[in-house]
Amino acid sequence: MPRTINFQYHFDNLVDNFGTTIDTPQLQAYCSHHGVGYQTITKYLQQYKVGRGKWNLTVEEAKQQLERSVGNTAALSKTVKLQQDLIPQKDDTFVSFGNFSSLKKVIQSRQFYPVFITGLSGNGKTFAVEQACAQLGRELIRVNITIETDEDDLIGGFRLVNGETVWHNGPVIEALERGAVLLLDEIDLASNKVLCLQSILEGKGIFLKKIGEYIKPTAGFTVIATANTKGKGSDDGRFIGTNVLNEAFLERFPITFEQQYPTVAVENRILERACESLNVPLVGDHKDFIVHLCNWADIVRKTFNDGGIDEVISTRRLVHIIRAYSIFGDKMKAVELCLNRFDDETKQSFIELYSKLDETVSVDAQQSEDANMQQPPF
């Protein structure tokens, strides 16, 4: 008679290692590695059998089986919630601009068509990808790339679980098997270790030599990479840590979107939605503040593009200022606090420029921390 096993534990491990579709060789390899009888575990998996030597561990079947086997629906969280968690939430503050409609069409097509998105920091590259997936109901797996990112971080590797060495898929394999959108964020920070993705960027899948298994991409899988540079490094030193990417690696991205900062009109809408989300009424002085901020950022960017200055005000920083304003209720305080990341000379020049655009503020009106603290006027 088959011995009793912890079905919940083995079920989760099977899904983690092989996905929801498994076959006889995979199940035999798992049983051998974990010391579980093949006949024992196939008895528990009987209702999942969909063909000779094939099992389909879908979420709904898993839920029913675990409820019957262990009577503990809380144990389902890892399996049941995974798909829901991978679809980004729609953000009411999002405003589409630039290449968003084209990006959305690529994702909507469900074709394998890698996209490279480049642009200065804080102009909404990652946010656009997230919201395109949110609007389309597509699963998104995001990997934040650093110089330390290696093959194990991307593809997967063996992990010690309860005293046993178990293979765990990395985010790239997870996206391949799920047919999800894979986002390689800040790809220009990577070393040549990302060359392990060459075959994947050709749409051919990858052979996992450590476990002797070939993973084919599921329909819908594609790759999007974001970067502050075009993969050629940062000659001006603005983006320290970015690297020159292998030319063959870059060639595997058919198209490149160049993300610019939004226009003044679009940026106005972005800040208005940020205010709405923070319960800042869009009337009077508050609305004027938005107008002044957008005009100020536009002048700074034009000067930056002309080579007059080395720093720029990003859309992200403008949203930071709006958030600070919703907390402190003081326009100049919000601006100054959010400019503290710049060197003193740059900060002072930016503050003086803003004060010329907004006559309601004064650079010299700095008071002590307690005296200057106001209740937000909304």
Q: Is residue 133 part of a domain?
A: yes
167 forms beta bridges with 158
Would you state the pLDDT for residue 76? 42
Q: Is residue 93 part of a domain?
A: no
Same domain, 339 and 216: no
* Short-list 115, 95, 94, 118, CA closest to 105: 115
Confidence class for position 272, pLDDT limits 50, 70, 90? very high
Instruction: Give the tens place of pLDDT for each residue, 160-183.
Output: 888 888 899 999 999 999 999 999
Domain stops at, among 86, 121, 144: 86
Would you state the pLDDT for residue 361? 86
Confidence class for position 29, pLDDT limits 50, 70, 90? confident
Would you state the pLDDT for residue 2? 33
201: left (phi over 0), alpha (psi -120 to 50) or beta: alpha
Would you state the pLDDT for residue 74? 45
Would you state the pLDDT for residue 22? 87
Same domain, 346 and 300: yes
Confidence class for position 364, pLDDT limits 50, 70, 90? low
Q: Is residue 72 part of a domain?
A: yes
Alpha carbon distances (Å) from 72 to 6, 45, 75, 173: 13, 18, 6, 29
Would you state the pLDDT for residue 80? 42
Domain stops at, among 56, 86, 116: 86
Domain stops at, among 204, 228, 258: 258
* Three-class SS of 47-67: HHEEECCEEECCHHHHHHHHH
Same domain, 110 and 252: yes
pTM for this prediction = 0.75
Confidence class for position 64, pLDDT limits 50, 70, 90? low
Q: Which residues span the domain enclosing 217?
A: 100-258
Would you state the pLDDT for residue 152? 93
Same domain, 114 and 229: yes
Count Cβ atoms below 10 Å from residue 73 Cβ, excluding itself. 11
Same domain, 32 and 130: no
Same domain, 59 and 109: no
Would you state the pLDDT for residue 371? 46
Would you state the pLDDT for residue 315? 97
Same domain, 105 and 243: yes
Say how many domains are in the chain. 3
Please determine, for residue 204, whether its predicted confidence score (pLDDT) is greater than 60. yes
Mean pLDDT of 8-26: 81
Q: When comparing pLDDT for 45 and 228, which is higher?
A: 228
Same domain, 119 and 242: yes
Same domain, 270 and 237: no
The answer to whether 283 and 187 have CB atoms below 8 angstroms apart is: no
Q: Is residue 32 part of a domain?
A: yes
Cα–Cα distance between 30 and 13 in angstroms, integer?
9
Please determine, for residue 150, whether its predicted confidence score (pLDDT) is greater than 70. yes
Lowest mean pLDDT among 112-121, 162-171, 193-202: 162-171
Same domain, 116 and 196: yes
Mean pLDDT of 95-107: 97
Kind plus residue range of the DSSP H or E element containing 92: none
